[in-house]
Every structure is written in structure tokens, then in C-alpha cells.
Amino acid sequence: MVGGGQLARMSHQAAIALGQSLRVLAASPGDPAALVCADVLIGNPDDLDALRGLARGAEVVTFDHEGVPGEVLRMLVADGIAVRPAPDALLHAQDKLVMRRALGGVARMPDYVEVADAADVEGLAGRTGWPVVLKAVRGGYDGRGVWMLDGPDPGLVAQLLSTGTPLMAEQAVTMRRELAVQVARSPYGQAAAWPVVETVQRDGQCVEVLAPAPDLDPATAAAAQQLALRIAAQLDVTGLLAVELFDTDGTAEGLVVNELAMRPHNSGHWTIEGARTSQFEQHLRAVLDYPLGATEPTAPVVVMANVLGARKDPGQSPVAMSVDERLHHLFARFPDVKVHLYGKAERPARKVGHVTALGDRLDEVRARAVLAAEWLSTGVWADGWSPYDADARATRFPPFASTRGAVSGV
């Protein structure tokens, strides 16, 4: 796997259960996957020699990020190495303009234009109105490489172009919410889809995933899954495909494609505990051409919440609380919540882990997940709960308080 981030780390965990070994090409020994994998190469994803070393003796090369030059991957393919997804498919997740042009006859998308100067942005606004979304054509994630323009800003456009950043501009879509649908496709052509989820964004970054997407009409959900499967087939994707969607009016006709990812994706972390087959196992099955696994959820409601680095490090506060101490308190309150920490140093807004909660009612499950994630992030219970308050222990989320008492004798 090219890349040593948290996606490779969780893919490694899935590989173990399949009797497989994951070799990773990491940028540094401190990368999340490099901390846990036995077979690690340190190198850059644009270094052909490093990639050839990664591929030596491997069944297949795949990715935990899209930042690999296509020309280098084509050299691997010319060497007879199985690269999945193939470079021509991966390009559609690397280049937003290529993706928009390829999907023009397949999916509804925002009006867009390639930007060579500020006049292109203003021309789009003349058709669609302000605001306009300015995007870097390549790279960019979690709100990076995206600028919302409420009016003409020729200085910003000129500055970005002068640094060599290829740009495009898009119509700002008025929407009800953001959705995501993940599918997997094998070289044999088998495909599978998970339930459509709602992704909750803050400051351009995903903070929660609600599975399945609440109050989504079944016909719209089915249409979203079929759309993702069609895109996967048209682009000849092998492995995972995540399709990010804008839900503009709750109907199938109102689904607008935002972006694509061809790898495990933040919107699918809930599947580790919440689906019969996790996205990480499924990606490995797909690129190895194994039969794909079942995708049914394991509970009526699953909520994943990202653990983000706090503005103020809890470990540096007057009452310092390490991650280990926060875990102790979390498990004492919510023994059912599953935690995945990535081995990353904490810094503001950085994704350092996620939590997953399962249950029957969205409000209760979401409350547990959000409280747990915020606690791990900040060391503060957002609802004021205290382990030293007996009344709080008895009255808040009683099913879990009683479970804790039965197990620990507290």
C-alpha cells in the first residue's frame, strides 16, 4: 500500500485476519501504519525506485492516498505489476476537472469552469450567481484547497495561479445535507454497495457519519447506490470507490456528485463495527480479486465521530490528562463505544482517531458518539457529566451505567 497513514494502519489490521501481510511505503517511521506494520519502506510516492521496491514480490499495489503521479504508476504497470485501481481510473480521483468531464453524461454535477484567470471565475458567477467555489484541481482535502468566494477576488486567483496551482471554479450548490455512498468492485467485475450515509461537516472537515442516512427515501438511497455502481463500472475502478454527494431536495434527481475517492474513506470508518464486512477488508478482497463480503449493517443505527486535536492540548492543561487517562474515563462511562486511535501527535483539528457507537435510536447513539469523541479530544465532558457524581452515573444513559456496574462492581 502506497502511503502509511491511518487508512493503511486500519488496512493492515484487516489484512492480518485474511492471512495477508501488508507492506507500506511510508513517508517517515512515525507514520500511523509504520508504527504497527512489520514490513515498512520509507520513501516518496513519486520515486519510481521506491515504488518498485514496494512492489517487489507483492501480489498487488494499492493506495491509502491519491498523491502518486500517474506516469510513475504506468511504469509499474509496464513492469507487469498489478496496480489497483489502475492509473487511468485513479486519475479521476486525482484530478477534479478530469472527473467532471468524464461524468458529464452519467451524473448531475455543479456547473464548473477551468480557471486560467479571474475572468473565468466571474464568467461562471455571471451564469450561476455568487458565491462561487474555487478549488485546486489536484490535491486538497478536509477543506484545504477550497475557497468560497462571495464576490470577485482577482488577487487571490492571480496569487494561486502564480504558484502553479491549477484551478477550477464551481457553482455553490444549495443543499439539504451531504451524503456519501461507498461501493467496491473487483477485477472479476463483482460489485457491492454499503448503505448510503450522511456526512456531517464542520469547517470543511467531516466530523460525524450517520449510517444509514436518516430519513432518506428508500428510492433515493437505491438511486445513490446505483449511481455509484455505474460510476465504478464506467471508470473501471478496482477496489473501493467513495462518491460524495450533495442532497439538494431529498429526491434521486436532486443528487449532485461532489468528489470521488478510490481507497478506503473517512465516510466508511463506521463499517469496522457497523457492517458485516468493513471497508478495509472489502478493499483488500477487491484488489486481491476475492469474492466480496456482505455489506449489511450490524445494527439499526451506527454513528462514527472523528476525534480531532483540540485547540488546547488536554495533556498540557493545568490538570493534565493523557490519552490513556481519557480512555479510562471513556470506557468507564460508555463501555460499548469502540475507539480507534491512529498513533498521531495531537494538534488542532487534526484527525487523530475516531469512535463508533451502535444502537437502535439515532438520538441516543449519536449523543454517545459525539460525547465520546469530544471527551477524547478535549478531556471535557460536553454535557457536564462527572464520574464522581453518583446521580449522574445513575441517570445518564442508564443501560450503560448498569452494564458498567455489573462488570466492575462499582
Q: What is the mean pLDDT of residues 87-101?
A: 97
For residue 394, pLDDT over 60 is answered with no
What count of other Cβ atoms lies within 10 Å of the Cβ of residue 383? Answer: 12
All cell numbers assigned to 105: 453524461
β-pairing, 351-359 vs 301-308, is antiparallel
**Amino acid of residue 208:** E
Q: Cell triple for residue 213?
A: 442516512
The label of the residue with cell 501480489 reads: 59
**Angstrom distance (rounded) from CA 165 to CA 43:** 24
Helices assigned H by DSSP within 106-194? 118-128, 154-162
Residue 322, judged by CB atoms within 10 A of its CB (0-12, 13-18, 19+), counts as: exposed
Task: Please write the tens of the pLDDT for every residue from 315-358.
Answer: 665 557 899 999 999 999 999 999 999 999 999 999 999 999 99
Asked if residues 295 and 272 have their Cβ atoms less than 8 Å apart, the reply is no
Strand partners, 384: none
Residues above pLDDT 70, as percent of the chain? 93
Take residue 62 and report the three cell numbers written for it: 494499492
* The predicted structure's pLDDT at residue 406: 36
- Confidence bin at 392 (pLDDT 50/70/90): low
